[in-house]
Amino acid sequence: MQLLSLQFALCFAALLALYWIAPKKAWQNALLLVGSIGFIGTHSLSAAVCVIVSTFIEWRLALAMGAVTERRPRLMVLWGSILLNVGQLAFFKYSQFFLPELATVLKPAGISLHVMSVLMPVGLSFWTLQKMTLTLDVFYRRKPATQSYWECLLFTAFFPTLLSGPIEFSRKLLPQFQTARTISTGQVAEAVWLLAMGAFHKAVIADNIGASVEVLMAPGHSGFSLLIGIWAYAVQIYADFAGYSYLARGCARLLGLDITQNFLAPYLAPNLSDFWKRWHVSLSGWLNEFIFVPTSLALRNWGTMSIIAAVWVTFLASGLWHGTGMAYVVWGSVHAVGLTIFNLTHGWRKRVKKKYGSAGWLKWSAVAVNFNWVCLGYFFFRAGHVGVAVDQLRSLFGHLDWDPVVENWNVIVPCTAVIFWLQSALAATKNEFWIFQKPIWFRAMAYLVLAFLLMRFYAPADRFIYFQF
């Protein structure tokens, strides 16, 4: 069931009606849990079983950890949780590769291995990290272990965040399930804005510009075509992923719940460090808290090298989390290299800033360089294969000629302009609800324009890009 579908809209409307007439929060939670498990079931029954069983194990581990105070047994429980969750990710993500290889190795010995197609549960990478915070938050003593299994299951299976995040911490979302919820007209207005922005980003921007990306990035085109194509892909993946996050937050807001704002104008970041504070904020926060900080503290005697080593560990883990091929490891390495350069040039950057101050040309030059570095990583991220990405980069730098295939300017230019304008508005106000700071006539016009664009340029809704993870 897709979030941008009539089927989902009708089911969510029915759930919403029952949810707000429910007399107690326990009834609301029960409705949310049934709806969330049902939502998973529409994608895969095996996924629903996997969520139910793995959450039960995590809940028991969290309780076991909460019952002891000594560090050694708590560490043993923590490593048990890490091994189980990493093993689950590795099995479902990599089984399609290692099972056939194992069958090939065993065949000469006369051993037959029946290779089954292992279907990866929907949203596995996202809800696994979210579920792990049930134990991690207890280990770091940021919250006590939750006694109710059903609340933990609702936390893991919560349908707005299930497929592509945001990845929530148990200490933030679980307390919201444990308290009475109310909703105001202001929250409804904010939710409508989030849903409208989500539909616009995905159905108007991402899916329309995505068709142009497929043409521009096809084999055989010139470097110029690939350059425009990767810039367009940057717009597509942002609009696609941010669109889902807007929809998820809009649905949660209508339920009286608040989840993480996942994007903060990332393409206006002047460096990679700032970029990762703005892009996929919930994943960045998880990786920072549970991988980067512990690694840098463990290596703190290394000085600056402790930071660089922690950066590499974090981004290699991020690459493996995203996908199963070497291309995702290279993508993570591109960001690790960029952040290594950023850390090693701290003194030089400080001198440049002292000399030129806050000159506009310096800021926008940094933004342009950073954006193109991010796009370098996108070659590997999009291709999924190192060889394909390398061939594209060779064409980019070796054949940078005008290509007549770049003919969809009427799609690429307005989509790009709108995305950067919206990011500029967010960066200027530091408020995703900046629309409510405008006069009522401006808001009315904005909604009318959004409605017109959705009706006029609505493209058939493809799967969200991050669903594959």
Model confidence pLDDT, tens digit, residues 436-467: 988 999 989 999 988 988 888 876 656 676 66
CA–centroid distance for 123 within its chain: 10
Q: Report residue 271 as tokens.
A: 């460096």
Residues of the chain with pLDDT > 70, as a percent, come to: 90
Span 365-373, mean pLDDT? 94
3-state helix, strand, coil in the chain (%, to 5): 75, 0, 25
- What is residue 99's predicted lDDT score, i.e. its pLDDT? 60
- What is residue 116's predicted lDDT score, i.e. its pLDDT? 46
**Would you say residue 279 has pLDDT above 50?**
yes
In the chain, where are the structural domains located?
6-180, 186-468
- What is residue 115's predicted lDDT score, i.e. its pLDDT? 47
**Would you say residue 144 has pLDDT above 60?**
yes
CA–centroid distance for 385 within its chain: 21
Span 347-366, mean pLDDT? 79
Query: Would you place residue 286 in the very low, low, confident or very high pLDDT band (cuts 50, 70, 90)?
Result: very high
Going by C-beta distance under 8 Å and a sequence separation of 6 or more, which residues neighbour residue 199? 4, 243, 247, 454
- What does pLDDT average to over the chain? 88
* Helix or strand holding residue 180 (H, E): none
Query: Would you place residue 407 in the very low, low, confident or very high pLDDT band (cuts 50, 70, 90)?
Result: low
Query: Would you place residue 351 in the very low, low, confident or very high pLDDT band (cuts 50, 70, 90)?
Result: confident
For residues 210 and 392, is the Cβ–Cβ distance under 8 A? no
The closest alpha carbon to 227, from 330, 376, 407, belongs to: 376
**Would you say residue 219 has pLDDT above 70?**
yes
**Would you say residue 83 has pLDDT above 90?**
yes
**Would you say residue 375 has pLDDT above 90?**
yes
Q: Which of 175-179, 217-221, 242-246 has the lowest mean pLDDT?
A: 217-221
Given its phi and psi angles, is residue 265 left (phi above 0), alpha (psi -120 to 50 degrees) or beta? Answer: left
**Would you say residue 128 has pLDDT above 70?**
yes
Asked if the bond preceding 219 is cis, omega within 30° of 0, the reply is no
Query: Would you place residue 164 in the very low, low, confident or very high pLDDT band (cuts 50, 70, 90)?
Result: confident
